Amino acid sequence: MKPLKLAVAALLLAVLSGCASTLPRNTLADWQASPNFQPRRARVIVLHHTAMDNAQAALHVLQTENSGGPVSSHYLIGDDGHLYQLVSEQSRAWHAGGSRWAGISDLNSYSIGIELDNNGHEPFSEAQLQSLLVLLEDIVERNGIQPHLVVGHGDIAPTKKDDPSVLFPWRRLAEAGFGLWPRDVRAAPPPGFDPWAAMRLVGYDLREPSVALAAFHRHFRGSEETTWLPGDAEILYDLQLQLMELPATAPQPPP
């Protein structure tokens, strides 16, 4: 039996070597492999609602396509809290589309997408939120993502999307350490404070200011008003201060 085992081991080694040799390489260059690399890591987490009736219907769309073509996300969380993974975190899922956040224009390449089983007009369930918080803690720790970089699809694509809806409890996420939220005690902004500049610092794309403002209100005010509201400047000044207090780089995940 020992010779047979050795033969099987040799065959497996040959197969694995063959698989390794199929990785993309530039034929113009002399391949001299280095072990000093790691898979690309996402830097932003984007939350969505499915705008569908149930998780099974959403799974079908995420595994096939919708009217606009193929779509996917890395995770889907059912209303009952059940967690599904559809795409590896190391791969580029198709969930963000044409979007922009903090100067990044290809969010599909730099983010992890999480779909929440919700039709957009109902509260998010406790079981779902508990599952989301566990998942966020896991993703942030493993990938070294700065915890405040948890945003909504409507934040990164305000001209096209509004998810998750005004009913999403962003404050609760922030209390658990994810996302950005204004503190209860806020200082008055100084003379000359520019709220638009603060919105840009938070991450919003201001090419269409009114829809960006609606996205800001959806996230931080539970409204979709397209003009400034009383208290907006105080909120944005506080968010600006929080961002300025953050470390310059994200903590690195363990090897």
Q: What's the CATH code of the domain at 93?
A: 3.40.80.10
Beta strands across the sheet bearing 83-85: 83-85, 75-77, 111-116, 44-49, 150-152
Whether 187 is covered by a domain: the verdict is no
Domain of residue 76: give its range.
44-175
Instruction: Name the domain count of the chain.
Output: 1
CA distance readout (Å), 190 to 65, 193, 195, 247: 49, 6, 11, 23
Tokens representing 72?
């996917």
Q: Pairing between strand 150-152 and 44-49?
A: parallel
Whether 216 is covered by a domain: the verdict is no
Residue 97's contacts (CB-CB under 8 Å, 6 or more residues apart) are 108, 157, 160
Whether 119 is covered by a domain: the verdict is yes
Q: What DSSP element (H or E) covers 238?
A: helix 232-245
Share of the chain above pLDDT 90, in %: 74
87-120: per-residue pLDDT in tens? 999 999 999 989 999 988 889 999 999 999 999 9
Report the catalytic residues: 115
**Per-residue pLDDT, 114:** 97
Whether 86 is covered by a domain: the verdict is yes
24-61: per-residue pLDDT in tens? 787 878 787 777 777 778 999 999 999 999 999 999 99
pTM score: 0.86
